Structure formats: C-alpha cells, structure tokens
Amino acid sequence: MMAMLAGLLSAPGATAQYPNPGSPAHGGTPTPGTSAGRPRFSVDATVQPTEEGLETRIDYRLDRGELLFERRNGAYRGAYEVRVIMYKAKGGTQVAGDTFQRSLRVATYTDTRLRGADIIDHVTLRAPAGAYRVQVVITDLVAERASGTEIRLEIPEETKQFVWFSDLSLGTATDSIPSGASPRDAFTPVPSRRFGLNLPELVVLGELVDHRAPASGGGAERYKVAMRVSNDVQETVWRGDTTFARSGERTPFLLRPRLRPLEAGSYRLLVELVSPSITPPGRQKPVPVRRERDFRVDQTSQNVAWESRSALDVLKYIATGAELSEMETLDDPATRRAFWERFWRIRDPTPDTETNEELQEFYRRVEYANQHFSVGTNGWRTDMGRIYIQLGSPDEVVSNPFNFDRPPEQIWYYYKLRRAFVFVDRDGFGRFELDPTRNQ
C-alpha cells in the first residue's frame, strides 16, 4: 500500500485516494467526519433544541457517483443504508443507534453521474447527556460495499441558563430567505467543514434559545452578535457583527461572514452574544453566551501568493522531470497560476467531482509538516517534511534521544516500501536531518 501511495504522489493520473496523515509514530487515520473508503462521504453532528428536548442531528453528504445504480424497468435505481451507533466515550457501551434506508431513481445513466449532484440529507437520534463516539456507516445496497467514520460528540445537560446558542452548522445558502420560511430552508450543510473556492459563500446556521419573558412595550427585541475567525495560532484574521430580531423562545439565524480568501489551514469561528447582556439570578456580572466551530480552508488558486516564485516550490517534491523544467520558466503570476491549476487537474483521481482528493491530501501533509517539523524554517522545507509529504506517515518511528557516541536520532520505517530513513539532530535544537552515511 505504501509503495502504491508513493507512486501516486510522484506521477499524474492517480486513481486512488490517500489515507489521511496522522502522528509519525502511528499509521494514518481518517479525518473525523470523512469516510476512509468508498462510498466516500462526509458527516457532521450537532446538538439541536426541539420541543421534546435536545436532539442529535447527523448531516451527511456524498456524491451520487459514489453509488452503483442498477437498471430496472427503464430507469436507474440506487439505494443505500445509513447506520448510526452512539457509544459512550469511556467504556464503549452502546447507548443509541438506528439504521435508515434511502433510495434514488433517475431516468438516464448520465443522471447517475451528474457532477455536483450531491446527496445531502440527515438523520436524527436521541441520547442522554454525555460524551460519545458516534459511528456512521453508509452501505451501498446495490454494490454491497460499505465505508464509515467516527465523530466525537458531547451532549450537554439541558441548560437552565436563560439564553444560549445551539450548536453551529457550517455550509452555504441561497442569497435570500422567502417570507415565512425558516433559515434552514435556505441552508445547505457542508459536513466536512472544508472550504476552498466557496469560502466567501460560507454561512453559519444556529438558534438562539431565550427563556426570558418577552420585553414589555410590544416592540421586537433585537440581538446583536459578534463573529470572529482565528487561525491555529489564535490570531484573529476576521471579525464582524450583525443584529437580528427575536422571534420567540427559539430564534433561528443565518449569519453570512462573507470571508475573503484565507491561507490554507485550520480556523475557528466564534459567535458571541453582545447584547443584551445576560446576568442570571444570583450573579453580579453578565455571563458570556457564545459558541465555536472549527473549519478548514483548502489550498486553492485563490490563496496562493502567485507574485512569489516560491509559490510552487513545494510541488517539486512530486513533480515530474518535465514539470520541474517547466517550473523554471514561469516568470509571472499568470503563468504560475495556470501551471498550478493544470498540475492538479491531471492528478485529480475523481475529475467528475468538485473535490480533488490528491490535492487535499498533499496539502494536508504540507500542513502537518509545518506543524510538526518547523525548526527555524517551514516544516515542509526540512528533510522530515519532504519525506513525510512524499511518502506519508511511517509505519513505525524509533527514537533514540540519548546516545553516548552520536547525536539523537529518529528512524522512520516504511515496511511495504522496504525503506528506512535515519534522521539525526546534530546541534541538539531539534533540527533533524537525514544522515547521508546511513541513507542510501
């Protein structure tokens, strides 16, 4: 498997998806909320208030091209099953679970492969307060194949706080909401919480639950909320605020940050109630009312610094000889951008979908290298970063931090490749470099 993955990273025309990177000391594991195999799907979970109490909503999204359709009675039929099981995070006891079957019927074979025709749906369950591992498995009932993933979820005790936010859902939405319609009617979830060229379309769906009595005077009470987006080093990269009118004890809302292109990486969005300030009985100071949600921004043609010749440097790790030669001739932003787009287009394992899995995996490895191997320079420029980007997570890592006769070292083993890489820290500052005498 590792040999195959190495080949996919070094040549265009890949036809498979990478495993996601994990700790160098462990094998790759799927990103929570994204299935590891086919049918590929993404899933997210939120805890929402209902008239009967708190409810867990599982949103999922898969391209219809992931399903096998069979021809029957002049049309094409597909079917799949969603199985959701909730286990206690500690102890693993099953607390809740259910299966849900869905079917699709289209007129022509072309309709079974329509680009962008994603299946977007949800299921709901109830479980008591607690921390859970939520296992989600989708089975293609025609192809008889299944894939799954797990999500971590915490269901709180039903709060007695006067005002609170429900969990936030991230997605996209139509520009307007028809009169009398709910904000959810205009909302399309993005369960993976990954955004690329559609980042400016990101919206936030939630509810503000307010148990206080309505304000006297008959006028509509208004809420003011502040929004802030921070990166993985807690720097604020965007902030804004908005107001909306109260619509009873539960006020659904749809916030539109209108974000500009951000660098590829991990981000956190915070929504906080600014006014009215809420001081519960027995308290002398207002309490914060807020909710957060993480999301990721993928590398796209919009967030690469094309003005710099170094914008394409990281691609040299997987470029062909002809591509390396061409890169030396790119001397302006327009030609560099065109090259980058073509470079990834020919490596897209699923060109009929909006997602380029190879591009996503490559930049996930770049980000991992920057987070774990940066000592005095960007992690992707180090020897460890290069090997990790090219080959992925090693099968085993052996650390020898205390050697009497030589510097600290790490050995990365790739068993199926029959390769081992020895890195040494010659100056003791964590700058591990390949040992040329032990790496042939």
Per-residue pLDDT of the chain (440 residues; tens, 9 = 90+): 233 333 333 333 322 222 222 223 223 334 568 887 788 899 999 999 888 889 999 999 998 888 999 998 889 999 999 999 999 999 999 999 999 999 999 998 888 877 667 899 999 999 999 999 999 999 999 999 999 999 999 998 877 678 899 999 999 998 888 777 889 999 999 998 988 888 999 999 999 999 888 877 666 789 999 999 999 889 999 999 999 999 889 999 999 999 998 988 889 999 999 999 888 777 788 888 999 999 988 888 788 888 887 889 999 999 999 999 999 999 899 999 999 999 999 999 988 877 888 998 898 888 888 878 877 778 899 999 999 999 998 989 888 776 667 788 899 999 999 999 999 988 766 788 998 877 65
| Beta-strand runs (E) in 234-359 | 236-245, 250-255, 265-275, 290-297
What is the residue type of 235? E
170 within some domain: yes
Query: 195 and 287 share a domain?
Result: yes
Looking at residue 209, which CATH number applies to its domain? Answer: 2.70.50
99 within some domain: no
426 within some domain: yes
Domain range for 270? 159-260+265-298
- Cα-based distances in Å from 382 to 378, 423, 430: 7, 11, 11
Q: Which among 164, 169, 160, 161 is positioned nearest to 57, based on CA atoms?
A: 169
Query: 172 and 292 share a domain?
Result: yes
Residue 340: per-residue pLDDT: 94
421 within some domain: yes
Query: 289 and 384 share a domain?
Result: no
Query: 170 and 293 share a domain?
Result: yes
Domain count, the chain: 2
Q: Give SS3 for 350.
A: coil
Q: Are 191 and 177 in contact (CB under 8 A)?
A: no
318 within some domain: no
368 within some domain: no
Query: 404 and 279 share a domain?
Result: no
